[in-house]
Amino acid sequence: MKYILLLTFAICLASCNLKGETATPTTYPDVKVVGAMKNVMWKGELEDSILLDTITNKKGLYGLGPESYLTGELLIVNGTSYLSKVSSDTAMTVTPTYDVSAPFFVYTNVTDWYEINLPASVKTIKDIEDFVSERTKEAKRPFAFKLEGTVSKADIHIQNLPRGTKVSSPQEAHQGQTNYTLQNEQVEIIGFFSTMHKGIFTHHDSNIHLHLITKDTSKMGHLDNLEIDRLTLFLPKK
């Protein structure tokens, strides 16, 4: 009888926990997720969740997220960390540095890739998401991927939240966001794909999060829209 009572208590405890706030989904040990986008947007958790200089293994390191307090964008490309910040409505600065932090961040190490030429039918970010999903049905998820080549046009943004702003909604979080349009640029685009991390490191309506950096590293930001000229997709080898 005692064991039945203990089992009943355990089931009730598990049931109660399920009714609480949904926990951050677990992920593979080689893809690390810190913080959550939804907590930044809805709870105003803008402070540091990770200091990038505490990531010790920088070999083949890739990662992305916003800067703490939403004052810039972060991107790690093959071990080099970049911070972009707004200078004006038409200008930005991109600085190589690990002396930065993020309220949420996703990162991993990839040293071996295989290439896929994107078909002409892939024209938009949604097309990229669908194509990557289709080509990775048997792969473990989540994972990082990248695209290299030329874009005819790309829209990116940099977060630039005024210091001291309190945030309790996505609308408040995006105050000060500055948008930029790039044309005929050679670029590298770093992405992370997951079907289980909406609101964690992807938006609620997408399975991918993309940051773009130009080949000359003069421009970098969160990718919102693009028109593809010629891009090659790189997926991690199994």
Which of 195, 221, 103, 63 has the alpha carbon at shortest distance from 141?
Answer: 195
Q: Alpha-carbon distance 237 to 233, whole Å?
A: 12
> pLDDT for 210-226, tens place per residue?
999 999 999 999 999 99
Tokens of 169: 């909604």
Domains of the chain: 29-236 (3.30.1330.80)
Q: Alpha-carbon distance 113 to 219, whole Å?
A: 25
Model confidence, pTM: 0.86
Residue 23 DSSP code: P
What percent of the chain is predicted at pLDDT more than 90? 69
Please give the residue that has the higher pLDDT: either 9 or 193: 193
* pLDDT tier for residue 206 given thresholds of 50, 70 and 90: confident
Please give the residue that has the higher pLDDT: either 3 or 195: 195
pLDDT for residue 175 is more than 60: yes
Per-residue model confidence (pLDDT) at position 202: 84
- Report the chain's terminal Cα–Cα distance, integer Å: 50
